[in-house]
Chain A
């Protein structure tokens, strides 16, 4: 088989997620690409969770392929997963469930397997998902030693008996796939692919790695779904690199502490999701006014307020673009793949340094939390550039003209000759408050017009610059569009909008002339990116703009994208 999609689901806290990640690792170590879509509830124990893993020989950044196999540890897994093809899909349920859930129109093959019983026999009730791993490994004719190796890596720290019971449960699961029932599924074998070991990770880790590669050595943050892994990973890795993560009392402290550290001379960031972003807005104005570099990663979830914390939306763009009071300069980047989570975050630190202002990196829940196999980032890693913060000794002068004409140097405290004043008040060249109209006009222009060069850089990545239909997407929507448009045989061109501010106006003008229609696909009610394009496109092309929105919290289906695209072609 070319591709294979399996779903494993059960109650949260039962090991469903770790089984899913072992599967993804096993296939990624064997040369395949995986994409895992996770469904979970905002609670720790109890509640339904499932991982839907798509295994492909090519890179895939979205869910949407029909399931071939469902492993159910609760009834909800089977009941809520009837989006698979009726032909050839089987439900394998833990015998402990007692009765098999009934599907609607389609009639998949069902079978009970004694996963719970096998784990009880192995002396570890928690190992029932490991038994399922054994079953899947044999059914898909994968290398058993590879799975055993992964189990050893996972459980060796927990002691010999835990590992042994898992290995025993695994072996019991392997035997289950030998039952006569599965003879007819001999075809459940993936086509061989070149043996390459690839990393598998979520966007949150790619963002954090990008930050480290960008020279970030300080992060202050407050835990929040779905951004917490960023601060967790940084806190695990920074100390050995001499850096530091501080978990603050709230998001206001997180952003202002990062501003302090950045002013202090170290590349600094914070990470959050919508509710935290709202709290951080006063920090954006300060960083922009005082011209202090700052990187803020926002992993968007459904808002407003607490919204749907475990569902995806892209509704914070407006807040990032103009959330705080007053008018201030900032840069808004938007990754659209794991690779760009890495490369754009890395670049965000250079831009923040170069332009001395806040830079937003707008990720989203699906990009941040759903693991996928990636090609290595090594080729994307460049050494950090920008030297504005490290001027060395500035000599004897009593004060430094930090905000003087053409001055981009930011002497950090401790720099001899660099003494100046920094304030959120309007200020003159030395940083001292100055409320004269002439100064105000000059300083506003200094801040607001610093991006003239950057706005001419392309902000939309695309492979073809002309055609019939241009589909614009960003974040996790990009991967879905990519997958959907593959099915249309290359008739539509996909563009990734990766810089929303300063907006690539000239590039959009050119594109609007060379395409007949432009479709903007995004997860929000108001069509925030659509409106942004509308504002920036020349009036004669307004009629070419179309919008496809979704705000249910669920990802787009491939059909929703292709249907709309076909309408416009």
Chain B
């Protein structure tokens, strides 16, 4: 059995032929399998959009929620049961249009989950609308005369919001992407992996060929611990890079909670209500 089979299910995959998301799915499944995470210990939470299907195509607990809300749901799951491996995944519209507020606060909150931003710089499932990550002058059904706004830059936003693990990958660079997802899962805290995942149907201009030509790898000499350097590396490449941009070892949310308990919330005994007497006494 190939290692990927451990996480493969029989659900029919409906992405367009050539879609970058197939490769994100493949990298995720291999990363989970290589880390020997048991299927039932993984929860894949997605939003709405083409990317939203990823949880359904993975043999794990899959939660396909509402547009833009994958991150609060994923955080809730991890807070309920810290033993789980929780992956949130969503497109650039899901994460950085309707879900921008949640993305910023998830980064700030630093709960130990991994967020795969399946970034194709376009709304695919609505059949081609401009996304907040679409380039200036991008022509689509919603910007027929060309987009007049500059795109948001998720990795820069994440750096500013205090992100402790910020990486960029590319569907077309599988081995690097698998490594990044594994590192993201192992990172104790919130990890953002912004993945260039081409939409061959509605954004062919940013297809595999263009990305191969324009993406550079952060070299061996890039210091992932250097916060200021991370801004520099982003600006020097205009954000067109792959690799681990920045990582720190700030403690994650659940380690910072006062009176932190090792017991997951799911394992608490709720049958016993003897504590009530003491609580009511405080009101006398």
Contacts and interface: CB of A to CB of B under 8 A. Distances in A.
Given A243-B265, A422-B64, A212 B279 contact: yes
Nearest to B111: A246
A421 B257 CA distance: 31
Interface string A233-244: 000010111111
B83 interface: yes
Given A237-B279, A433-B56, A413 B81 contact: yes
A126 interface: no
Contacts of B263: 242
A111 to B, nearest CB: 34
A64 interface: no
Contacts of A243: 265, 268
B62 A421 contact: yes
A383 interface: yes
Interface stretch (B38-46, B143-151, B208-216, B227-235): B38-46
Interface stretch (B22-30, B71-79, B164-172, B196-204): B71-79
Interface in B46-94: 55-56, 59-66, 69, 71-81, 83-84
A348 interface: no
Interface string A380-411: 01111000000000000010000000000000
Nearest to A418: B40
Interface string A349-384: 000000000000000000000000000111001111
Contacts of A240: 259
A109 to B, nearest CB: 35
Nearest to B261: A242
A378 B72 contact: no
Given A413-B40, A424-B64, A198 B284 contact: yes
Interface in A121-137: none
B276 A213 contact: yes
A201 interface: yes
B101 A250 contact: yes
A283 B101 CA distance: 16
B283 A199 contact: yes
B268 A260 contact: no
B77 A286 contact: no
Interface in A200-215: 200-201, 205, 209, 212-213, 215
Interface residues of A, number: 73
Interface residues of B, number: 58
B265 A244 contact: yes
B96 to A, nearest CB: 15
Interface stretch (A32-40, A262-270, A459-467, A521-529): A262-270
Which among B66, B71, B101 has the greatest number of chain A C-beta atoms within 10 A?
A: B66
Contacts of A546: none
Contact of A432 (B41, B56, B65, B276): B56
B280 A199 contact: yes
A266 B80 contact: yes
Given A217-B270, A218-B265, A412-B81, A422 B280 contact: no
Nearest to A254: B72
A119 interface: no
A425 B74 CA distance: 18
Contacts of B272: 383
B277 interface: yes
B40 A414 contact: yes
A263 B63 contact: yes
Given A244-B79, A422-B62, A264 B276 contact: no
B66 A383 contact: no
B126 interface: no
A421 B72 contact: no
Which among A217, A254, A266 has the greatest number of chain B C-beta atoms within 10 A?
A: A266
A420 B72 contact: no
Nearest to B41: A414
A415 interface: yes
A412 B76 contact: no
A74 to B, nearest CB: 29
B101 to A, nearest CB: 5
A29 B77 contact: no
B271 interface: yes
Given A212-B276, A242-B263, A244-B257, A264 B270 contact: no
A198 B72 CA distance: 41
Given A198-B284, A241-B275, A261 B77 contact: yes
A432 B72 contact: no
Contact of B76 (A242, A256, A419, A421): A256
A215 B271 CA distance: 7
A414 B81 contact: yes
A282 B66 contact: yes
B105 interface: yes
B11 interface: yes
A254 B102 CA distance: 10
A423 interface: yes
Given A239-B259, A419-B39, A261 B80 contact: yes
Contact of B69 (A239, A244, A256, A412): A256
Contacts of A282: 66, 69
B219 interface: no
A248 interface: yes
A265 B61 contact: no
A241 B268 contact: yes
A377 B77 contact: no
Contacts of B38: 416
Contacts of B17: none
A262 B76 contact: yes
Interface in A256-295: 256-268, 282-283, 285-286, 290
Given A241-B275, A415-B40, A218 B69 contact: no
B238 interface: no
Contacts of B73: 256-257, 259-260, 263
B7 to A, nearest CB: 11
Contacts of A248: 72, 105
B66 A265 contact: no
Contact of A414 (B84, B270, B280): B84
B266 A265 contact: yes
A257 B72 contact: yes
Given A421-B64, A433-B56, A261 B40 contact: no
Contacts of B56: 421, 423, 432-433
A242 B81 CA distance: 12
Contacts of A218: 76, 79-80, 265
A251 to B, nearest CB: 11
A414 B77 CA distance: 11
A381 B40 contact: no
B11 A256 contact: no
Given A237-B279, A239-B257, A422-B64, A252 B72 contact: yes
A256 B270 CA distance: 23
Given A199-B280, A239-B257, 8 more contacts: A252-B102, A263-B63, A263-B80, A265-B266, A384-B273, A414-B61, A417-B40, A421-B55
5 contacts: A197-B284, A264-B265, A283-B69, A378-B277, A420-B61
Closest 7 CB pairs of A and B: A260-B76, A264-B80, A215-B270, A199-B283, A260-B73, A261-B76, A413-B61
Interface of B: 9, 11, 38-43, 45, 55-56, 59-66, 69, 71-81, 83-84, 101-102, 104-105, 109, 257-259, 261, 263, 265-266, 268, 270-273, 275-277, 279-281, 283-284
Interface of A: 25, 28-29, 197-201, 205, 209, 212-213, 215, 217-218, 220, 237, 239-244, 246, 248-250, 252-254, 256-268, 282-283, 285-286, 290, 376-378, 381-384, 398, 412-425, 431-433
